[in-house]
Amino acid sequence: MATIERSLVIVKPDAVQRGLVGEIVGRYEKRGLKIVAMKFEQVSEETAGRHYGEHKGKPFYDGLVSYITSSPSVLMVIEGPDAVNIVRTTNGATKPGEAAPGTIRADFGVTIGRNLVHASDSVESAAREVGIFFGDGGIVEWNRAIDAWIVED
């Protein structure tokens, strides 16, 4: 049986403003990943500060916080085998100009500052980030009828 991982995904304000939420969510689902939590909210400065805490003091920190708090985002927990890697591959490289064709960032992004999506970079980061945005609740454990056709035993 494959090891199931979780990743935090943020469909960022630029993607929400551009009406790309459905397209982006659909790409994760089409890959075979499962949404186990989702909410639509404007990220607070406090939450953004915890999320981007490792960058505090760097020249780009204030811009990150300003951007993520500027408009609503869609926050999700995505689950599946090798979910962290698969989500990041689906997103594409951080710089849209370097992203592989067919990825979210290559298809819809132009600049690094408006790169549409965030995804956890490791299982450990995912656990920390899910805790920041979802706390101890909000994740739904459920089985899809199609899982047997996506994940081998």
Active-site residues, by number, are 118
42 neighbors 69 (Cβ within 8 angstroms): yes
Q: Residue 108 and residue 110: Cα distance in Å, rounded?
A: 7
Which residue carries 């689902």 as its tokens?
A: 29
Structure tokens, 55: 């960058």
Q: Residue 23 and residue 46: Cα distance in Å, rounded?
A: 29
Q: Residue 37 and residue 135: Cα distance in Å, rounded?
A: 11
Phi-psi domain of 52 (left: phi exceeds 0; alpha: psi -120 through 50; beta: other): alpha
Which residue carries 């920041």 as its tokens?
A: 132
